[in-house]
Homo-oligomer: A and B are copies of this chain.
Amino acid sequence: MSKISYPVIILNYKNYEQTIGRRGLALSKIAEEVAIESGISIAVCPQTADIYLIAQEVDIPVLAQHVDANNTGSYTGNNLIETLKEAGAIGSLVNHSEHRLKLADIESVIQKSKKLDFYTCVCSNNIQTSKAIASLEPAACAMEPPELIGSGVSVTTKPELVIQTLSAIKEISSAVQPLVGAGVTTSNDVAEAVQMGAQGVLLASGFVKAKDPKEVLQQMAYALKK
């Protein structure tokens, strides 16, 4: 279960207090349970310092929240792909709206990741940047309208935007899995996203801050099984 299959639910832990250290491990255990019982692929994105702890303990894909493009050498404070892999991450989010990268760096990260068999889910913010990212052929492209991130209003309330983006990505490269995110909080949001053509969703507070994260995730996974 260390590879991502589709449809996928990717859980971004951000810097939320509820996800630090052993609390993030507990959430990851929940994600693992739901993944096993539902058969739906669920990946978790802890903070970098928590990757090793979580990857040792759960058998679901662990992604970093950010990765740097540089090679090994005299770089201080960067997250090297080689190191993330050895710590147990199978890939990384790239260019999240809260950690935007220069175009040249997004491209370098994707190229280096391909060579090292490292999964990249590159975030975009509209149709145009989704097309640009799709042309770079990452493993997945997750479109998130910035104004809806953390809003509780789902990206699926903009069906035209979602449908046009997903079809634009597919048209440019069938190798890039199109995902959506922002404001995804209910199983209905997840169901709609997939009905519109998404191969999965990226969410954060909708899971992390839920009163009952397990119940929410079960319902989301169930919505994807239909």
The chain B residue sitting closest to A82, CB to CB, is: B20
Decide: A99 near B125, CB < 8 A? Known: A49-B49, A87-B21: no
On whether the beta carbons of B87 and A99 are closer than 8 Å, the reply is no
Residues of B within 8 A of A21 (CB): 83, 86-87
Residues of B within 8 A of A53 (CB): 52, 87
- Comparing A10-18, A28-36, A193-201, the segment that makes contact with chain B is A10-18
Q: Is A163 an interface residue (CB 8 A)?
A: no
Q: Please encode chain A, from 93 to 123, with 1 for each CB lying within 8 Å of some chain B CB and 0 for all others.
A: 1011111111111110011000000000000
Number of copies: 4
The chain B residue sitting closest to A98, CB to CB, is: B76
Q: In the complex the two chains form, what is the Cα distance from A15 to B79 in whole Å? A: 8
Residues of B within 8 A of A133 (CB): 103, 132
On whether the beta carbons of A17 and B99 are closer than 8 Å, the reply is no
On whether the beta carbons of A83 and B49 are closer than 8 Å, the reply is yes
Q: Which of B84, B93, B101, B172 contacts A135 (CB 8 A)?
A: B172
Residues of B within 8 A of A72 (CB): 15-17, 20
- Which A residues, 48 to 73, have Cβ-Cβ distances below 8 Å to chain B? 48-53, 64-66, 70-73
- Which A residues, 147 to 193, have Cβ-Cβ distances below 8 Å to chain B? 149-150, 172
On whether the beta carbons of B132 and A15 are closer than 8 Å, the reply is no
On whether the beta carbons of B78 and A15 are closer than 8 Å, the reply is yes
Q: In the complex the two chains form, what is the Cα distance from A100 to B105 in whole Å? A: 9
Question: A residues engaging B (CB < 8 A)?
Answer: 12, 14-17, 20-22, 47-53, 64-66, 70-80, 82-84, 86-87, 89, 93, 95-107, 110-111, 125-126, 128-129, 131-136, 149-150, 172, 204-205
